Amino acid sequence: MRGIRKEFPGVVANDDVSLDVRRGEVHALLGENGAGKSTLMNILYGLYRPDAGEILLNGKRVVFSSASDAIEAGIGMVHQHFMLIPVMTVAENVVLGTEPVKDGVLLDEGAAERRVADMAKTFKFAVEPGALVEDIGVGQQQRVEIMKALYRNADILILDEPTAVLTPQEASDLFEVLRTLRREGISIVFISHKLKEVLEIADRITVLRRGKTIETVPREGATEESLARAMVGREVLLRVEKKPAEVGDVLLEVEDLWASDDRGIQKVRGVSFQVRAGEIVGIAGVDGNGQTELIEALTGLRRADSGVIRVGGHELQHPTTRDSLDAGLGHIPEDRQRHGLVLEFSIAENVALHDYATTPDSKLGWLFPKRLVERAKGLIKEFDVRGGGPLTPAGALSGGNQQKLVAAREISRDPTALIAAQPTRGLDVGAIEYLHRRLVAERDEGRAILLVSLELDEIFSLSDRILVIYEGEIVGEHTGEVSEEQIGFEMLGVQKKVPA
């Protein structure tokens, strides 16, 4: 791939990126969230069209207008979200679309199963062709996805963050598989942000940062530090002016919290921390290391497995969302359109989402829209929410104003502790600036704020204390000066200390 450029509204995802992959090698594509890795591979797989640049296959220029073209050219991709049909067997899933036929009309199940069994043997997969996909484990499902590509004679296999859904054991099984594939002459592009794995399996590594190729290095000679530096090194951006923190009592406390995700994998593993009045504690980490489940457990969206949660000194036992709200926890959710707002409701109605059943918004079941509107008017002014009045549907606001609305609602309820999850996701610079200043203002007033964000800049800018979460555990805690590099390393699981 040469000189690939791809732009989406407002952002350049790939900027003059070049990548070359040799036959029979495992080539890792390394980079942070948003570096442009997936975009590049989606272009290779024909799902996106590049704005500039070209793709050469065996020296010949190719243009893909759809995934089918790419498949035919010998490129296969295993997405993070599998495209498998749970109620069908492995063999059926693999042959779907190019089924073997007998007697002219009938599906030759036997042939399908035999081919799948052969493939499994060649590549040393341990998958039964006749098993139903919903009955097999995630690691095996992934192998079925790989088989789909191989069945269509893929020479190049793209794997998008394949270990994100695997346990460590499954991951090392996968690597065995990859080594076998490599021996058979198949090239593999391995997208990841996990340094250790990349060093374990890759032959060559290309690092992307902010849409640009930084370097391509062979594995020999690369170390975790050198790779991390290439991934993380960046200029320092705007910091918010803030006074030093004046801390008070502990308002939010978590002790030895354990929580699992929907699949039963433990994502939060023994997390403990405290947030005091007048400070902002930021939790930094790469997406998928347990932050989401942590917040869900605190706010009642998910039931924790074990551990203690205390808000303002009161212990919360397996709270529902109502319980945590009543206990004084405010929550600016990371998914404002799914959890934070009812888009079809007006601003005034959204403002009332937690309190509609209490006076003065209502009495004995009778709603007083005027009060809702009054309150909304006040908040709109205070938080500078633009795009409409109290009666405008929330969906008509821009993302930034929607987020301001959510923040307005949460803050105006005067919570004991406020949790802000990805508060500036998808927002423009102006909105980000406003929210950051607001959060700091609240902190100055003595509120306890827990900030969870994937954006290191935001964490650095706002936090008085920084915690780093990696694989469900808090692996670092820093007050005062600490370098971005150090935090970056901890986020990637690197243990080595770097002088501040």
Segment 352 to 391, residues that bind another protein, using CB under 8 A? 352-354, 356-357, 362, 365-367, 369, 387
Of the pair 199, 353, the CB lying nearest another protein is at 353
Nearest residue to 232 (alpha-carbon basis) of 499, 486, 12: 486
**Is 453 buried (19+), middle (13-18) or exposed (0-12) by CB count in 10 A?**
buried
Of the pair 271, 352, the CB lying nearest another protein is at 352
Contacts (CB under 8 A) with another protein, residues 243-272: none
- Is 160 a residue that touches another protein (CB under 8 A)? yes
Of the pair 64, 273, the CB lying nearest another protein is at 64
CA 307 – CA 320 distance, rounded (Å): 16
Of the pair 276, 422, the CB lying nearest another protein is at 422
- Is 35 a residue that touches another protein (CB under 8 A)? yes
Of the pair 197, 279, the CB lying nearest another protein is at 197
What is the number of residues in the chain? 500
Find the shortest distance in angstroms from Cβ 337 to another protein: 6
CA 24 – CA 15 distance, rounded (Å): 27
Contact range with another protein by CB under 8 A, out of 2-10, 168-176, 253-261, 469-477: 2-10
Find the shortest distance in angstroms from Cβ 88 to another protein: 7
Find the shortest distance in angstroms from Cβ 6 to another protein: 12
Contacts (CB under 8 A) with another protein, residues 83-102: 83-88, 92-93, 96-99, 101
Find the shortest distance in angstroms from Cβ 159 to another protein: 11
β-sheet bridge partners, residue 280: 449
CA 48 – CA 69 distance, rounded (Å): 12
Find the shortest distance in angstroms from Cβ 220 to another protein: 29
Cis peptide before 360 (omega within 30 of 0): yes
Torsion of CA 135, 136, 138, 142, to 10 degrees: -120
Of the pair 340, 476, the CB lying nearest another protein is at 340
Find the shortest distance in angstroms from Cβ 104 to another protein: 10
Contacts (CB under 8 A) with another protein, residues 388-427: 393, 395-402, 424-427
Scanning the structure block, which residue is given the tokens 């994502």?
267
CA 48 – CA 51 distance, rounded (Å): 9
- Is 493 a residue that touches another protein (CB under 8 A)? no
Q: Beta strand pairing status for 187-192 and 26-30?
A: parallel
Question: Under a CB-based contact definition with an 8 Å cutoff, are residues 370 and 305 in contact?
Answer: no
Nearest residue to 484 (alpha-carbon basis) of 455, 445, 443: 455
Of the pair 38, 213, the CB lying nearest another protein is at 38
Q: Phi and psi for 46 in degrees, rounded to 5?
A: 85, 5
Find the shortest distance in angstroms from Cβ 491 to another protein: 13
Judged by CB under 8 A, how many residues of this single chain contact another protein?
Answer: 96
Find the shortest distance in angstroms from Cβ 108 to another protein: 9
CA 94 – CA 114 distance, rounded (Å): 12
Using CB under 8 A as the criterion, what x/- string covers residues 206-245 for binding another protein?
A: ----xx-------------------------x--------
Contacts (CB under 8 A) with another protein, residues 110-149: 128, 130-132, 134-135, 148
Contacts (CB under 8 A) with another protein, residues 173-202: 191
Question: Under a CB-based contact definition with an 8 Å cutoff, are residues 267 and 307 in contact?
Answer: no
CA 182 – CA 170 distance, rounded (Å): 18
Of the pair 62, 367, the CB lying nearest another protein is at 367
Of the pair 54, 135, the CB lying nearest another protein is at 135
Of the pair 270, 426, the CB lying nearest another protein is at 426
Of the pair 272, 356, the CB lying nearest another protein is at 356
Q: Taking the mean position of all CA atoms in its chain, how far away is CA 471?
A: 13
Contacts (CB under 8 A) with another protein, residues 444-473: 454-455
**Is 82 buried (19+), middle (13-18) or exposed (0-12) by CB count in 10 A?**
middle
Find the shortest distance in angstroms from Cβ 31 to another protein: 10
| Triad 134, 140, 143: Cα angle to 5° | 120
Using CB under 8 A as the criterion, what x/- string covers residues 280-319 for binding another protein?
A: -------xx------------x------------------
SS (H, E, C) 100-164: CEECCCEECHHHHHHHHHHHHHHCCCCCCCCCEHHHCCHHHHHHHHHHHHHHCCCCEEEEECHHH
Of the pair 19, 277, the CB lying nearest another protein is at 19
Question: Under a CB-based contact definition with an 8 Å cutoff, are residues 2 and 18 in contact?
Answer: yes
Question: Under a CB-based contact definition with an 8 Å cutoff, are residues 84 and 134 in contact?
Answer: no
Among 162, 282, 340, 390, binds another protein (CB under 8 A): 340
Among 335, 382, 444, 445, binds another protein (CB under 8 A): 335
